[in-house]
Amino acid sequence: MLFGTDGVRGVANVELTPELAFRLGRAAATVLAGGGRPRFAVGRDTRLSGQLLQSALVAGMLSAGADVLDLGVITTPGVAYLTRYLGCRGGAVVSASHNPAEYNGIKLISGEGFKFPDEVEERIEALALGQDTMPRPAGAGVGRLEDARAARERYIEYLAATVPGPIPLRVVVDCANGATSDLAPRLLERVGVRVTAINADPDGLNINAACGSTHPRGLVEAVLSHGAQAGVAHDGDGDRAIAVDEKGQIVDGDAIMGIMAEAMHREGRLRGGAVVATVMSNLGLEVFLRGVGLRLVRTPVGDRYVLEEMRRGGYSLGGEQSGHIILLDHATTGDGMLTALQLLATLVRSGERLSVLAGRIPRYPQVLRNVPLPEGVRYRATPRIQEALREAEHALGERGRVLVRPSGTEPLVRIMVEGMDPDLVAGVAAMLEEVIAGEVSAGAPERAG
């Protein structure tokens, strides 16, 4: 199976090879041809391997008779927006999001700016992995490649227009040495923010390296040293944003959703009277929303499940604790730069400090642990693991939660424990980590294939 919860990923040039990227390009162009000559918008983040894999992907599309608009280095949501705006049949992003530089990935986007349904991905995968009987036109039938990097300015203009007025704040933005390195500072300056940019000098290998939304310590220090009113950290492909308040306290995706939900509800912009979030979102968010007359609708982990529920139920706000926030009235996917703009605009309209707004949202103690999975090993709940889970749930009672699941993007088993007593939560998490690690190292889980 090639497609995970967020496209095709792997170590670049080892697992995700240019040969595979070429075949994926051919397959995507063939499936989406629709009896005509499709056009794709393609972008990438700043990874060293991005040019290698984008070149192969684009070559595959061109060889199947598709035209390609090269957007250059741009965020994933930027590709989603421009795919729609430019009237393309589909789009593609070469990025591994928040993962280290040696990884890369390929995400495919529909002409409407959404991820493709499973059945479309399955058709593309079957063609890419099967015998190559796909079209191979010649002469005028070969696709054309066009430099479309200038279209990125249209994306910035669109985002800037989503806020009603200037944002006269001092803000530090951590660009994770990724796709937002050029775009985010320019966008914030356009709406009147006094910007200090950090980690905005990508060299192909420093993307997400001890910086960005998964490593916000540097942002905390920068906010405090510059006396900023807020800080924002993105990830490598710009679909996430977490914040730091003026006191240097981290404001994660749950708190951002709580702040924005209350403001949108008060202004009559929150459709459905609810926020959609995953099972990983903190109980504190649920408690806060209930207190202001709103609901929390939970989904399995993965932004695609959040988006599916939002579209099904007609909701306008959803996302993940990681800062992947979906504002469906403005975007078809999580957009870190859009999230930052909307949060900062909410801050200005409220007249409050970010620490005050975020401080109203309680946070239950939550501990996260990761257990590495050896190559070729799948996680399953063995009898010993099931027993440990029962012990954990009994210990926490009705005032806590346990969630154990394999990661959809990395070879890890993720453990989340949440409850009122921080010492109990930490102890339960340590117990589960020890048991699961022991079972994995003992070879109990089934081997793939």
Q: Write out the two tokens for 442.
A: 């003992």
Judged on CB neighbours under 10 Å (0-12, 13-18, 19+), 386 is exposed
Half-sphere exposure of 306 (CA within 13 A, CB side): 30
Q: Is 100 left (phi over 0), alpha (psi -120 to 50) or beta?
A: beta
Strands 241-245 and 230-234: antiparallel
Judged on CB neighbours under 10 Å (0-12, 13-18, 19+), 56 is buried
CB-CB contact of 180 with 212 (8 Å)? no
Element at 11 (helix H, strand E)? strand 8-11
Please identify which of the residues 63, 97, 110, 213 carries the catalytic annotation: 97
Q: Write out the two tokens for 42.
A: 């393609």
d(CA 86, CA 298) in angstroms, rounded, equals 34
Question: What sign results for the dihedral spanned by CA atoms 128, 131, 132, 133?
Answer: negative
CB-CB contact of 324 with 297 (8 Å)? no
d(CA 401, CA 175) in angstroms, rounded, equals 33
Q: Which residues pair with 92 in a beta bridge?
A: 42, 108
CA 127 to chain centre: 27
Dihedral angle, C-alpha 428, 431, 433, 438, nearest 10 °:
-160
Element at 309 (helix H, strand E)? helix 303-313
Q: Write out the two tokens for 410.
A: 């990395």
CB-CB contact of 401 with 283 (8 Å)? yes
CB-CB contact of 75 with 340 (8 Å)? no
Question: Is residue 316 flagged as an active site residue?
Answer: no
CB-CB contact of 257 with 325 (8 Å)? yes
Catalytic residues: 97
